[in-house]
Amino acid sequence: MQREDTERTEVDRNSGKPLMGVGKAGLKDSGKPDLLIVVLPYPCTCSMLFTQNHFKAGSVIYTQSLAKRSKKLSAFVVNSGNANCGTGREGVEHAKMMAQEVAKHLDLDHQEVAVFSTGIIGEPLPIERVLSAIGEAAKSLRSLDLREASEAISTTDSFPKYSIREKTFGFAKGAGMIHPSMATMLSFVFTEYESDYDTLHSLHRELVEESFNSISVDGCQSTNDSSLFVSLAKEETQKERLRDEAREVFLELAKKIVEDGEGATKLIKVIVKGAALKMKARKVAQSVATSLLVKTAVYGRDPNWGRILAAAGSTEFPIDPFSAKVYMGGHLLYDGKPNPKALAPAQDYLEKVKEVEILIDLQEGKESWTYYSSDIGYEYIRINAEYHT
Amino acid sequence: MQREDTERTEVDRNSGKPLMGVGKAGLKDSGKPDLLIVVLPYPCTCSMLFTQNHFKAGSVIYTQSLAKRSKKLSAFVVNSGNANCGTGREGVEHAKMMAQEVAKHLDLDHQEVAVFSTGIIGEPLPIERVLSAIGEAAKSLRSLDLREASEAISTTDSFPKYSIREKTFGFAKGAGMIHPSMATMLSFVFTEYESDYDTLHSLHRELVEESFNSISVDGCQSTNDSSLFVSLAKEETQKERLRDEAREVFLELAKKIVEDGEGATKLIKVIVKGAALKMKARKVAQSVATSLLVKTAVYGRDPNWGRILAAAGSTEFPIDPFSAKVYMGGHLLYDGKPNPKALAPAQDYLEKVKEVEILIDLQEGKESWTYYSSDIGYEYIRINAEYHT
């Protein structure tokens, strides 16, 4: 899916705003910028979350160990086009060298520089070229432009991903949980509200659960996923405002990643309501959103409630097939038993809309959860089968 | 994949052997037999296992409640072409009527007649036609022919599935964990060794874990999966012989189901060894075998060890990316770091073989597990997207 954007993308240059610089290390076939440095106005409180995958990129191993020691960052560097993953112990060394190179050029403590990578797995990083691109980027700092920043970290993304609210903004990349040997999602969100680390980190975890951890393109977990949440600390804390703005930014970035899912033709929004437990609502929503049979049914414009219920029933949480209801775009397809009259209007709905809403009402409690995914068709197979390492 | 079979398919007619009869209720577009009755020589000790899915077929709900009350069966009936699932409370009533009809014709206790269904979800069973096909089948009993029995319960299977060892034999159906709204796997295994219920049931659970619970076509769980294990009790118990023969029969049936995976071009055998825990070996093997990215890579003949390790690392069990090894067909692709020399021979191997062996050595212990799956390509999408309810 392509999208048109006419939003404001450049954050005004002011003292206390982040700066950016880009460089080229020749990691992308397109020859476009593949190295981004973002410099924070001073050491800022920063929460970082990483992939749960145990096969982690060298950059993730390095930055995760950094995050354990320090809760402040002065800058971060991202290279795209090479995931620095599956590259042995050398990969961790390379990440450290990247942090040191940034620190050297900008006169910072290298322990306050985080490193992220995204791109192909298993190729050693051409470290000399990367270090020289860092020098190039450090010499051309200017105010952070979210669109350009997103473009510099993109791999096979088909459009840049960013989101702006009043005092909270961010950019991201990602198109499929793992691309053809490409890894995957990176997100960087900044808020001008002041926050101590514990508040920021706990809000970060909460928001990531609702956003990046509630989306799926192919159900595959990446080796490089990272999410950074920075408090630029210019405004007095307004906890509720911070939460509301940040929630909108995280959710917008997450939805854009799903929208850009490999070969996707439709966004799928799965809402589970009426659950006795929130965890149950979430597990059931996830099971439906990640079901290959549900995704191919949506691709084929088939309002197949049988596949939806089979997926909903496959978690460890019991559902009652005699009371559960399934709606598609408001059409009641199943009400403890089939409702064949709804099939034709639901199929019309599927043909027409870009975002397909599936609602499952378990009719047993008050908890709900929403999960986003995309359909899967021939193009996904083409992208993932015809690509060779 | 198609397979040629020249094996013996008819079990000799002897007193004490199961009998079968088939009928036609018009549930299949092909007009082929869609109703099977199997009559046991007397009430036999019988262990039954069912899908864990909570959205269960009416037949499963009925038969599962039967299994709780009785450990002996005199007969069972299977209809194909209609899953009797998502059909409300009426579906359970219909299953009971099927058991009663069999009991009436064969002068049995209906509480000793199990009922299984497989086929399309959400269509009410045309019960009058089904009952009349039961009458037809009951009038034409003859000795059990495994090939014909498998054909009578097949839906979109492309070949019949059966397996014979000295005193243990069985038949099954299934091609994809869930077919286009078709549900799914049924297996019926008989042994002539005598066994008490507890021994038979515990062996059944063990063998199902290694066979039907260690295969995956699309990772989707069915609403109708059932496995029956009957002791015909003619031979004195020889526990080890029983276990060995039954293991071979269960595994052969399970592999045939994967082999018949929708649109599959290759069987994938994933072996995880060197694990500290058996559960860990199993979870890691399952994660690799069910990864859509691994399946599409195999379809594309791409020895993509990065996707294999990303899948292996995505369970809750840590793996060490600096010591794990990945082999494909004996070619060492990754040895704590990439081994690019193995790529070309591994790709040759992928082009040539029908069964692709992926071996992951975690290098930390002595436990292992084997999981079977198949590749996924355009044909899977075609079958599952272009089918409409």
Per-residue pLDDT at A386: 66
Q: Is residue B12 part of a domain?
A: no
CB contact under 8 A, A385 and B300: yes
C-alpha distances in Å from residue B380, one per residue of A381, A382, B77, B153, B287: 10, 13, 31, 22, 20
Stated as kind and residue range, the H or E segment containing A203 is: helix A197-210
Using alpha carbons, select from B126, B4, B74, B324 the residue that is nearest to residue A56.
B324
Candidates B178, B220, B322; nearest CB to A89: B322
Tell me the C-alpha to C-alpha distance, in Å, between residue A228 and each of A33, A86, A101: 21, 23, 21
Task: Output phi, psi for A279, to 5 deg.
Answer: -60, -35
How close A53 gets to chain B, by Cα (Å)?
A: 5
Whether residues B202 and B218 fall in one domain: yes
Crossing angle of the two packed helices B378-385 and A292-299, in degrees rounded to 10: 70
Q: B332: which DSSP letter?
A: E
Token pair 């995914």: residue: A373
pLDDT at A128: 97
Q: φ and ψ at A277, to 5 degrees?
A: -130, 145
Among all residues of chain A, which has the CA nearest to that of B306?
A: A121
Full residue range of the structural domain in which residue A347 is found: 267-385
Which residue in the set B88, B314, B377 is minimally distant from A381, CB to CB?
B377
CA distance B177 to B223: 10
The residue whose two tokens read 């064969």 is B106
Residue A8, min C-alpha distance to chain B (Å):
37
- CA B81 – CA A353 distance, rounded (Å): 33
Q: What percent of chain B has pLDDT over 90?
A: 64
- Tell me, what's the pLDDT at A121? 83
Cα(A9)–Cα(A13) distance, integer angstroms: 12
State the DSSP H helix or E strand holding residue A242, giving kind and residue range, or none if neither.
Answer: helix A239-259
CATH number of the domain that residue B117 is part of: 3.60.70.12
pLDDT at residue number B214: 86
Separation of alpha carbons A347 and B82, rounded Å:
23
Query: Which of B:156-215 have CB within 8 Å of A?
Result: 178, 181, 183
Measure CA A145 to chain center.
19
A218/B178 Cβ within 8 A: no
- Chain A residues within an 8 Å CB radius of B54: 312-315, 317-321
* Facing A181 at nearest CB: one of B306, B322, B386: B306
Residues A41 and A142 in one domain: yes
All residues of chain A having their beta carbon less than 8 Å from the beta carbon of residue B261 are none
The alpha-carbon gap from B218 to the nearest alpha carbon of chain A, in Å, equals 7
**Are B110 and B242 found together in one domain?**
yes
Share of chain B above pLDDT 70, in %: 91
Using alpha carbons, list the distances in angstroms from residue A92 to A59, A85, A88, B326. 6, 9, 8, 21
Please report the pLDDT score of residue A174 as a whole number.
Answer: 85
CB-based contact, A217 to chain B, within 8 Å: no
Q: Are residues B313 and B242 in the same domain?
A: no
Buried b (16+ CB within 10 A) or exposed e, A220-238: bbbbbbbbbbbbbbebebe
Most B CBs within 10 A among A50, A286, A314, hence the mutation to make, goes to A314
B293, B322, B347: best mutation site toward chain A, by most A Cβ within 10 Å?
A: B293
Rounded to whole angstroms, how far apart are CA atoms B105 and B255? 36
Half-sphere exposure of B209 toward its Cβ, with a 13 Å CA cutoff? 10
**Which helix (H) or strand (E) covers residue B94, if one does?**
helix B88-106
In the structure encoding, which two tokens stand for residue A302, read together?
A: 């088939």
Give yes or no: residues B299 and B219 share one domain.
Answer: no
Which residue is closest to A389 within chain B, CA to CA?
B304
Q: Do A302 and B388 touch (CB under 8 A)?
A: yes
**pLDDT tens-digit profile of B87-116?**
889 999 999 999 999 999 999 999 999 999
Contact at 8 Å (CB) between A74 and A258?
no
CATH number at residue A308: 3.10.20.340
Residue A7 neighbours by CB under 8 Å, 6+ apart: A164
> Is residue B14 included in any domain, yes or no?
no
SS3 A207: helix
CA distance A25 to A358: 44
A349: tokens are: 């709905």
The verdict on a CB contact (< 8 Å) between B299 and A377 is no
Burial class (CB within 10 angstroms; exposed 0-12, middle 13-18, buried 19+) of A88: middle
The answer as to whether A373 is a domain residue is yes
Q: What letter does residue B84 receive in the DSSP assignment?
A: -
For the four alpha carbons of A233, A234, A238 and A241, in that order, the dihedral sign comes to negative
Give me the pLDDT at residue A12, please: 42
- Picking from B259, B294, B315, the residue at the C-terminal end of a domain is B259
Interface check for A342 against chain B (CB to CB < 8 A): the answer is no
Which positions ≥6 away from A167 have C-beta within 8 Å?
A191, A192, A193, A235, A241, A245
Residue B375's nearest CA partner among B311, B288, B272 is: B288
Q: Which of A178 and B132 is assigned the larger pLDDT?
A: B132
Q: How far apart are CA A136 and CA A138, in angstroms?
A: 6
Residues A71 and A136 in one domain: yes
- Taking the C-alpha atoms of residue A317 and residue A311, their distance in angstroms, rounded to an integer, is 12
Q: Are residues B74 and B144 in the same domain?
A: yes
At B115, list the tokens: 């009922």
The answer to whether residue B369 sits within a structural domain is: yes
Contacts (Cβ under 8 Å, ≥6 apart) of B29: none
DSSP symbols for B149-215 = HHHHH-SS-SS-EEEE-SSEEEEEE-SSSSBTTEE--EEEEEEEE---HHHHHHHHHHHHHHTGGGE
Contact criterion met (CB below 8 Å) for A43 and A167: no
Which one of A64, A82, A222, A389 makes the best mutation probe of the B interface by having the most chain B beta carbons within 10 Å? A389
CA distance B128 to B348: 56
pLDDT computed for residue A237 by the predictor = 77
Whether A384 sits inside 8 A of B322 (CB atoms) is no
Whole-number Å distance between alpha carbons of B339 and B324 = 13
Mark which of A238, A259, A280 sits at the end of a domain.
A259
Q: Give residue B290's pLDDT.
A: 86
pLDDT bracket for residue B10 (50, 70, 90): very low
Closest to A155 measured CA to CA, from A135, A133, A136, A172 = A172
Please check whether residues B302 and B380 belong to one and the same domain: yes
Angle at B97 (CA atoms; ends B96, B102), nearest 5 degrees: 100
A230 and A273 fall within a common domain? no
Q: Are residues B190 and B70 in the same domain?
A: yes
Written as one letter, the residue type at B3 is R
Residue B324 to residues A64, B304, B360, Cα–Cα distance (Å): 21, 15, 7
CB A356 within 8 A of CB A333: no
Number of domains, chain A = 2
Mean pLDDT, 10 residues at a time, over chain A (389 residues)?
A: 42 68 94 96 94 87 93 96 90 97 96 93 92 96 96 90 95 66 75 94 92 75 84 84 94 89 86 95 92 88 90 89 94 93 96 96 96 84 63
> Has residue A8 been placed in a domain?
no
Q: B245: which strand partners?
A: none
Residue for token pair 């197949």: A304
Amino acid A209 reads E
Distance CA B66, CA B75 (A): 13
Write down the mean pLDDT value for chain B.
88
Supply the DSSP symbol for A36. Answer: E
Question: What ipTM goes with this model?
Answer: 0.70
Do both A131 and A274 map to the same domain?
no
Cβ contact, residue pair B55, A310, below 8 Å: yes
What per-residue confidence (pLDDT) applies to B2? Answer: 39
Q: List B residues 129-158 in contact with A (Cβ-Cβ < 8 A).
A: none
Whether the CB-CB separation of B239 and B199 falls below 8 Å is answered with yes
Out of A259, A289, A306, a domain closes at A259
A372 closest CA partner among A276, A275, A298, A280: A298
For residue B179, the chain A residues in CB contact (below 8 A) are none
Q: What is the mean predicted confidence (pLDDT) over B70-91?
A: 93
What pLDDT is attached to residue B225?
84
A289 reaches B (C-beta below 8 A): no
Could you please report the per-residue DSSP string of B3-69? Answer: ----S--BPPP-TTS-EEEEE--S-STT----EEEEEEEEEEEEEEEE---SS--HHHHHHHHHHHH
Provide Rg for chain B, Cα atoms.
22
In a domain, A241, yes or no: yes
The helix (run of H) or strand (run of E) holding residue A194 is none
A28 within a domain of the structure (yes/no): yes
B259: nearest Cα among B164, B172, B383, B152: B172
Count of CA atoms in the C-beta half-sphere (13 A) of B156: 21
Q: Give me the helices (H) in A291-359, please.
A: 292-299, 305-312, 343-352
A84 and A195 both lie in a single domain: yes
Q: Could you say which of A123, A292, A300 has the minimum Cβ distance to residue B386?
A: A300
**pLDDT above 60 (res B181):** no
**Which DSSP state fits B30?**
T
CB-based burial label for B122 (10 Å; 0-12, 13-18, 19+): buried
d(CA A143, CA A9): 11
Distance from CA of A319 to the nearest CA of B (A): 6
CA-to-CA distance for B177 and B274, rounded, in angstroms? 29
pLDDT of residue B12: 42
Does residue B8 belong to any structural domain of this protein?
Answer: no
Q: B381 contacts in A (CB within 8 Å)?
A: 296, 299, 376-378, 380-381
Q: Which tokens hold the place of B57? A: 């077929």
- Please state, as a whole number, how many other Cβ atoms lie within 10 Å of the Cβ of residue B337: 16
